[in-house]
Structure 1
Amino acid sequence: MHWLFGDQLGPHFLTRGEEGPDRDTPLLMIEARSVFRRRRFHRAKAHLVLSAMRHRAAELGDRVTYVHADTYRQGLDRAASGHPVTVHHPTSHAALGLVRALPRVSVGPARGFLVPMADFAAWADHHGGTGLRQEDFYRWVRRGHDLLMDGDQPAAGRWNLDHDNREPPPRDTAALQVGRPYRPREDEIDEEVRDDLDRWERDGDVRFVGRDGPRLFPATRAEALRALRRFVEHRLATFGPYEDAMLAADPVMSHSLLSSSLNLGLLDPAECVQQAEGAWRAGRAPLNSVEGFVRQIAGWREYVWQLYWYFGADYRRSNALGHTAPLPDWWSDLDADAVRANCLRTVLAQVRDTGWTHHIPRLMVLGSHALQRGWHPAAVTDWFHRCFVDGYDWVMVPNVVGMSQYADGGRMTTKPYTSGGAYVHRMSDLCGPCVYRPGDRTGDQACPYTAGYWAFLDRHRERLARNHRVARPVRQLDRLTDLADVRAQERARGDTPP
């Protein structure tokens, strides 16, 4: 019997190569309610995962045994009856520890990624295990997989087109001319899942956060392929220049919305980057947009996956800055209406309503605020994991601990990713209607991000003065005539909604 986890739903998890199951091998899927009982997940995420699992079971028909159980152990005992079970390498340390502790369960290689873990470990060890720059890794993957290459050189002679992909949003947003993203249609399986979630909540068995419905993201391989095709044909061309921009009325812009499909295993990363490259070579999309998309998948997504395993299970407990403050209730409850700062209110509402927002709001609005307030990085990581439809342990531990919260002290990134309100003002249309002014550090209209930025640098002045990427603003602290007022203002603010 071969066991499919809920994020192993694509056909590449059922092919024979690399110790996969034979075509006639019986399959097992386990829906364990304890997963949702232990933690307060976003309702839309719970719906998407269960819908995707049940849709896949319906596709597999009599070949699969689908078990509703309280725990994975209980489900396995009920279905396998002592017979040998195989499973592909799970995507979290906890799940890997579980399957390795179970008798008669053998673990095969991971699937759904471009680089075998052993190959990455050899590459990282060659670099001494430190200074593992994402740019070096990305170029190595590009060469190894012949992605956007002309012989042994990068297409058009440039590896990195980030400089072309950092445009603020145009004043006339209609000028984007972006095609609509793919949105699926719900069916009776979605209705069944929603009824079950309603019943679990009524029974007091589980608690969710956020809003649910209608489903916005693919739950089947066919839907995911349609979403990929829609993106490549109608949205990829305009993706690059504005991939870091934010618009209040259009949180999606030209983003692919494929992360949840990739992380459920409905899509394989190779087919995504190959289709994007094909669009460029056929003249249907510019290189900067295609390179930006390829970088997200073959560069960053792959890098995050590999570092999760290479750094090990203890990495999640990193807390180099010594941040210990708990998450306030308004944040945990996604209570956007309690927030006055327009950028944070808008982004928190996007998470509440959809379980998704793109990478810049995650990093420079949500993550930046948590970092400035000194919230415990483990709690922030858990919140991102639970509240995003594409959030999994392997995704969020490096992204939050390493990048967003700088809790590893620089093992993954070279600087803390936080800023004052000027960055948000430049890269969005969110500051115009705000009650705060991005240039004000103190006073009734002081931007919480601007004040928070200088307070953060001040708190960690000694450490950050040694970091060449932020040493200059740290030196500027001594020239701030209102620094004492900033300190007092930030202490008084505490964890009240900004």
Structure 2
Amino acid sequence: MANPHWLFGDQLGPSFIKAGADGPARDAPVVMIESRYVFRRRRFHRAKAHLVLSAMRHRAAELGDRVTYVRADTYREGIRQAVGREPVTVHHPTSRAALRLVRSLDNVTVLPPRGFLVPQEDFAAWAGGRHTLRMEAFYHQVRRDHDLLMEGAEPAGGTWNLDHENRRPPPRGARSLGASPPYRPREDAVDEEVRRDLDRWERDGDVSFVGRDGPRAFPADRREALAALRRFLSHRLAGFGAHEDAVLADDPTMSHSLLSSSLNLGLLDPAECVEGAEGAWRAGEAALNSVEGFVRQIAGWREYVWHVYWYFGEDYRTSNALGHTGHLPDWWNELDADAVSARCVATALRQVRDTGWTHHIPRLMILGSYALQRGWDPAAVTDWFHRSFVDGYDWVMLPNVVGMSQYADGGRMTTKPYTSGGAYIDRMSDLCGPCPYHPDRRTGEDACPFTAGYWAFLHRHRDSLGRNARMSRAVRGLDRLRDLSALLEQERERAGADTPP
């Protein structure tokens, strides 16, 4: 009889039990372990805990008698209950902690990872000898190797990058893009059971969650994930590109795919997503800029983040090039959007509180930028993003937050810190109009926290950022600020008060 194959909770699609030279034996029994300790050791968003448990239990129901499903305190205890000392296979886990665990078990054979387009050895070959590992160059290589949006040896349309077409502000006066609504699943008996269990764990004081739960907004099985993909490709992809960096208070999903949680649970394979999008373009159903923007998110950024997580090594986790050590305030940790007056922060935090999700610009240019400007500890910010988002996993958030959002790696991933004053938020959103703060004011009671915070951040890191070619002009602008002393004193007082903006 074939050795059992262990499925982690983010390895739930069919590719993770597909037999082959680098996979489990054909028709191998399956083991799944629901570990309570995972939810005790971190204070996760309740909707995230619900989604993961619902997805695992749905998968177990699909597998039927083929699966041994164990509910245990720890993975180590669970695998012992499931198979004892019997040999087990498992595909390469997605976190360093899980990889250390499976490698410490002498009855477990680790198979190559699945769920990504590029093998680790191919990334290492591409990265070897390069002074910088920029996503753009990697993205070009992925496009060539997988023949994605290519016309012979050249990129479709004659250019690799259509970002210049995909950075339009929202239509003036619009409260919504008017996109067809995204796919939303219907809860079932599995979800009812999950919610009862989570309620009981909280009542017993065994675990504690943050945020709100329900109704479940993201797919929990393969059927739902495919329905969400089809819905995006047929109804939403065409309108995705132009305004993908825009933000509207009353339209949190706009034309975004909402497929990240399904990809990161393993319910969707990245190849079927990007190939489906390319098919829509070739059929004349979506413009190239929309399709290229979506393909870039998956075949470019997602692949790149996965690989640098492993390539940079464990020490990357403690990167703190800017020396930021500030603590995260209680209102932030509790997702207390109602305590916040700054409309952009309140809106983004409310979306996270209510759904465990917001799209990439509120993550980067509102929530991440606010944390960067305040000098919060990047490790704590990374942990917050990991816990608070339904699509957040260690491999996802570590590079995204340490490298992209908090610039804690000093530029190993990006060429500059991604932060701005209020003018950017005002241009790219409808958030500033009703806000009590004004994006063009640096000091005073109505000074925008982002405008003041941006200049205080530049001043604090004047020496290092002044040597950055992409930041030097902004740093020189400090010398033109006649109110700089007042601004810095104001920001010291705000930081000392530790109150929401």
Question: Which residue number corresponds to residue 56 of structure 1?
Answer: 59
- CA distance in 2: counterparts of 1:304 and 1:17, whole angstroms: 27
Instruction: String of CA shifts for 1:358-417, please: whole Å, max 9, x gaps.
Output: 000000000000000000000000000000000000000000000100000000100000
The letter of the residue matching 1:233 is: S
Residues 1:79 and 2:82 are matched in the alignment: yes
Question: Retained in 1: the 8 A contact 2:438–2:447?
Answer: yes
Q: How does 1:7-86 map to 2 (within 5 A)?
A: 7-86=10-89
Question: Which residue number corresponds to residue 134 of structure 1?
Answer: 135
Question: Retained in 2: the 8 A contact 1:18–1:108?
Answer: no
SS of 2:128's equivalent in the other structure is helix
Q: How does 1:456-475 map to 2 (within 5 A)?
A: 456-475=457-476
How far did residue 81 of structure 1 move?
1.3
How far did residue 19 of structure 1 move?
2.2
Q: How does 1:268-287 map to 2 (within 5 A)?
A: 268-287=269-288
Question: Which residue number corresponds to residue 168 of structure 2?
Answer: 167
Question: Which residue number corresponds to residue 342 of structure 1?
Answer: 343
How far did residue 95 of structure 1 move?
0.4
Instruction: String of CA shifts for 1:271-300, please: whole Å, max 9, x gaps.
Output: 000000000000000000000000000000
- CA distance in 2: counterparts of 1:292 and 1:89, whole angstroms: 29
Question: Retained in 1: the 8 A contact 2:177–2:251?
Answer: no
Question: Which residue number corresponds to residue 179 of structure 1?
Answer: 180
How far did residue 172 of structure 1 move?
4.4
Question: Retained in 1: the 8 A contact 2:176–2:250?
Answer: no
Q: How does 1:58-457 map to 2 (within 5 A)?
A: 58-127=61-130, 130-173=131-174, 176-457=177-458
Question: Retained in 2: the 8 A contact 1:246–1:360?
Answer: yes
How far did residue 80 of structure 1 move?
0.9
- CA distance in 1: counterparts of 2:379 and 2:55, whole angstroms: 28
The letter of the residue matching 1:487 is: L
Question: Retained in 2: the 8 A contact 1:18–1:109?
Answer: no
- CA distance in 2: counterparts of 1:53 and 1:18, whole angstroms: 26
The letter of the residue matching 2:113 is: A
- Identity percentage of aligned residues: 75
Question: Which residue number corresponds to residue 493 of structure 2?
Answer: 492
- CA distance in 1: counterparts of 2:399 and 2:21, whole angstroms: 27
The letter of the residue matching 1:307 is: V
RMSD (CA atoms): 0.8
The letter of the residue matching 2:6 is: W
Flag as ranges the 4+ runs of structure 1 deviating above 2 A. Answer: 172-177
Question: Retained in 2: the 8 A contact 1:218–1:261?
Answer: yes
- CA distance in 1: counterparts of 2:232 and 2:176, whole angstroms: 18
How far did residue 336 of structure 1 move?
0.5
- CA distance in 2: counterparts of 1:126 and 1:26, whole angstroms: 43
- CA distance in 2: counterparts of 1:363 and 1:476, whole angstroms: 23
How far did residue 203 of structure 1 move?
0.0
How far did residue 125 of structure 1 move?
0.4
The letter of the residue matching 2:104 is: A
- CA distance in 2: counterparts of 1:364 and 1:304, whole angstroms: 18
The letter of the residue matching 1:41 is: F
Instruction: String of CA shifts for 1:71-98, please: whole Å, max 9, x gaps.
Output: 0000011111110010000000000001
Question: Retained in 2: the 8 A contact 1:113–1:302?
Answer: yes
User: Are the structure 2 counterparts of residues 387 and 480 from structure 1 closer, same or farther at C-alpha, using a change threshold of 3 Å?
Assistant: same
How far did residue 11 of structure 1 move?
0.4
How far did residue 16 of structure 1 move?
1.4
SS of 1:436's equivalent in the other structure is coil
- CA distance in 1: counterparts of 2:428 and 2:236, whole angstroms: 20
The letter of the residue matching 2:256 is: H
Instruction: String of CA shifts for 1:241-276, please: whole Å, max 9, x gaps.
Output: 000000000010000000000000000000000000
Question: Retained in 1: the 8 A contact 2:175–2:250?
Answer: no
How far did residue 126 of structure 1 move?
3.7
How far did residue 175 of structure 1 move?
7.6
Instruction: String of CA shifts for 1:22-62, please: whole Å, max 9, x gaps.
Output: 23211000000000000100000000000000000000000
How far did residue 18 of structure 1 move?
3.9
Task: Give TM-score, length-normalised by structure 2.
Answer: 0.98
Q: How many residues align?
A: 496
Instruction: String of CA shifts for 1:412-469, please: whole Å, max 9, x gaps.
Output: 1000000000000000000000000000000011000000000000000000000000
The letter of the residue matching 1:113 is: F
SS of 2:110's equivalent in the other structure is strand
Question: Retained in 1: the 8 A contact 2:5–2:24?
Answer: yes
How far did residue 114 of structure 1 move?
0.2
How far did residue 15 of structure 1 move?
1.0
- CA distance in 1: counterparts of 2:250 and 2:87, whole angstroms: 53
How far did residue 174 of structure 1 move?
6.8
The letter of the residue matching 2:322 is: L
User: Are the structure 2 counterparts of residues 431 and 72 from structure 1 closer, same or farther at C-alpha, using a change threshold of 3 Å?
Assistant: same
Task: Give TM-score, length-normalised by structure 1.
Answer: 0.99
